[in-house]
Structure formats: C-alpha cells, structure tokens
Amino acid sequence: MASVEIRNVRKAFGPVQVLHGVNVDIADGEFVVLVGPSGCGKSTLLRMLAGLENITSGEIAIGPRVVNNVPPKDRDIAMVFQNYALYPHMTVFDNMAFSMKLAKAPKAVMEQEVGRAARILGLEALLQRYPRQLSGGQRQRVAMGRAIVRNPQVFLFDEPLSNLDAKLRVQMRAEIKELHQRLRVTTVYVTHDQIEAMTMADKIVVMNGGHVEQAGPPLELYDRPANLFVAGFIGSPAMNLVKGGPGEGGFQAEGGAVLPLPGSARGEAGIYGIRPEHIQLREDGIPATVVLVEPTGSETQVIARIGETPLTCAFRERVTARPGETIRIMPEMGLVHLFEAGSGRRLAA
C-alpha cells in the first residue's frame, strides 16, 4: 500500500490543454473519488496515474517514488476499466491469472491467488466460464478479481459502474466499498455520478474544466461547498441558487422574492443557495405557488414559486398540495449558503 501525490500536473493533447495544474494528495489506504462532468479531465488524470497517458508537466508519485517515467507494469497498480476489458478468449480463471502467467508464476501459486480472490468476490463457481457467459455484475466482479490478484499498491477504477443497471449499481457500489474496507488498499475511483462519490469516498475531488474545484470529505463538500460549481454539483436534487443581492428585509432575489438572510451576512452576496431538503413547511413561512409535485415515496419534491423565483423543495412530509395552490415555506436560516456573484466563491457565513 502506498500514498499517492499528484503535484501540479498538466496535460495537453497537442494545443488543447485538458488539465491545468492539478494537485491531489491521497493518503495511504484512502478511498478517493474523482468526480466531475464529462470532459473535466478526471479520466485523463486516472490514466496518467496508470501510465497510459504521458504527463505533460508536473509530477506523480506513488509512495516515495516519482513514476513519471516508470512504465505502467512497474507502477504496481491495478485498474478496473469502464468496459471491464476482460480478455474474451480466456476463462475467468485465465483472466484473473493472466498477470501471473506473464510473470511465469508456478501453477500452484496461480491457483492459490485466484482462489483467494474468487472467494472474496464469490466467483468460485464461475472460474471455468468465458466472459460472454457472465452477467454484467459478474463481469464487473471478475475485473475486480483480476485487480485483487495483482496485490497492487493502488487500485484504480475508471467509471466501473456506468454499464450496470440502477439496482446492480447500488449493489456493486456497496461491494466495492466493502472490499476497500476489507483490503484497505489505496483506491482512486473516477465517476461522474455524485451519489457514487458521496456514498463511497473518504475524500472527494471535484473537478471541472481541468481544475480541481474542491477536495475534501463528502460531508464537508456538502455542508461547505467552496464555490458555485461544487454547490450545484454535489447533492441531489441540486441546490437552489438564486441571483440577487441583500436588500430590505433579507435577500432581494431577481424574481422579486425576499428570502431571509442570516444575521452575519455581508453586503457582497450575489447568489443565495439553499438545498431543497433545507426548506421547511412552516405556518409563518413565505407564501409560494406550487408548480409541480413529485412524490418519491420517502420524500416529496415540490417546485414552488415565490414571486417569479422557482425553488425546488424536498419535504419529508407528504404534501397533498396541487399545482396552483399556495404553500408556506421557509429556508433553514443556519443552512443558507452565500456566494460572491462574479467569482462564484463561497462567502464565509
């Protein structure tokens, strides 16, 4: 096991810069999730860590060793690919034993190591099958088995769950998390799904446009997003971001609504953020017109308008209001986020 340090790493494909100086520190045994929208450079960063892409400038170190010029096979890493990249002409056993076969390991060692990984993942009965004969979840497990067998310093996952259906994704998410808790191997996991990031990570690195927007534990990102991008990206349904400025009686939104401001709020606040789950139904709340009601069972999502300002709310209570009716809502004062209008930076509130 090893720590990973990414220091001021840049990547350019010809004239196109895709990473503009990225710094990430990953502690030994940590589960780090790189998350961001498509094209933010997260997969490129992972592939650079794996040695599949050159590093244009900067340094990547695994443990004490800078690996910029170390070929992939000598970096002591294992990677799980998005499409699993199982060798279709080999059985599950041969797929998992391939790295040992290349290293000319004795047969007994191969059987022992593959057997160990197969027991961890529940693949014992499938060892003689070909990838074609496996379901999506089983293929995913074989790809993980191939990584486990290597006993690597670092596990890399490149959007491993995006080819699975929703239910299987939740199940595999739990399995990967559990596997990490059992093996305690440093893991770097790339996804565009912020729920995967929130549920699995020890630390989330939010990336956008080749920059790191914020890095930290999941709940810190949720509670104190450093900027507008992180605020909008983390959390589902997304945070309400209302433009406007401080005015008489609170925050004067562009749509005409007046929202309550915490006492400490400063004058330069240009954007008012409140998560849907932090809006309450209150008798003394602000009247709002219901636009849409979406019951999900565990909660009810309501889009309501104060004046012309639409707000998404998520209530634990069952709301029976119909579109057009008026409800009374109130943001929880302590959980309001304020951002600077121009830079989008969080204002310490």
Under the criterion CB under 8 A, does residue 125 sit at the interface with another protein?
no
Question: Which CB sits closer to another protein, 98 or 195?
Answer: 98
- Residue 98: how many CB atoms within 10 A of its CB? 17
Query: Side-chain half-sphere of 85: how many Cα atoms within 13 Å?
Result: 13
In the complex, the smallest distance separating the C-beta of residue 37 from another protein, rounded to whole angstroms, is 22
Under the criterion CB under 8 A, does residue 148 sit at the interface with another protein?
no
- The DSSP line for 17-33 is EEEEEEEEEE-TT-EEE
By the 8 A CB rule, do 250 and 256 touch?
no
Question: What crossing angle do the helices spanning 166-183 and 107-121 adopt, rounded to 10°?
Answer: 120
Using CB under 8 A as the binding criterion, the count of chain residues that bind another protein stands at: 28
In the complex, the smallest distance separating the C-beta of residue 100 from another protein, rounded to whole angstroms, is 9
Site for another protein in 156-195 (CB under 8 A): none
Under the criterion CB under 8 A, does residue 72 sit at the interface with another protein?
yes
| Part in contact with another protein (CB under 8 A); list of ranges 115-123, 126-134, 166-174, 277-285 | 126-134
Question: Which CB sits closer to another protein, 79 or 302?
Answer: 79
Under the criterion CB under 8 A, does residue 105 sit at the interface with another protein?
no
Under the criterion CB under 8 A, does residue 79 sit at the interface with another protein?
yes
| Part in contact with another protein (CB under 8 A); list of ranges 34-42, 46-54, 186-194, 335-343 | 46-54
At 288, the amino acid letter reads A
User: How many whole angstroms separate alpha carbon 280 and alpha carbon 80?
Assistant: 43
Q: Collapse the DSSP code of 40 into the 3-class scheme (helix H, G, I; strand E, B; otherwise coil) and give the result.
A: coil
Q: What are phi and psi of 187, to 5 degrees?
A: -130, 135
Question: Which CB sits closer to another protein, 131 or 216?
Answer: 131
CA distances from 275 to 179, 234, 315, 319 (A): 32, 10, 11, 18
Short-list 210, 181, 62, 84, CA closest to 139? 84
Under the criterion CB under 8 A, does residue 45 sit at the interface with another protein?
no
Under the criterion CB under 8 A, does residue 81 sit at the interface with another protein?
yes
Q: Is the peptide bond before 88 cis (omega within 30 degrees of 0)?
A: no
In the complex, the smallest distance separating the C-beta of residue 50 from another protein, rounded to whole angstroms, is 6
Under the criterion CB under 8 A, does residue 135 sit at the interface with another protein?
no
**Sheet strands side by side (includes 203-208):** 77-80, 154-158, 186-191, 31-35, 203-208, 211-216
Tokens 């596997």 found at: 179
- Element (DSSP H or E) covering residue 171: helix 166-183
Under the criterion CB under 8 A, does residue 13 sit at the interface with another protein?
no
Q: Which of 103, 109, 219, 292 binds another protein (CB under 8 A)?
A: 103
Under the criterion CB under 8 A, does residue 89 sit at the interface with another protein?
yes
Under the criterion CB under 8 A, does residue 98 sit at the interface with another protein?
yes
Under the criterion CB under 8 A, does residue 109 sit at the interface with another protein?
no
| Part in contact with another protein (CB under 8 A); list of ranges 18-26, 35-43, 88-96, 333-341 | 88-96
Q: Are strands 31-35 and 186-191 parallel, antiparallel or unpaired?
A: parallel
Q: Name the site residues for another protein (rule: CB under 8 A).
A: 50-52, 72-73, 77-79, 81-83, 85, 87-90, 98-99, 102-103, 128-133, 146, 150
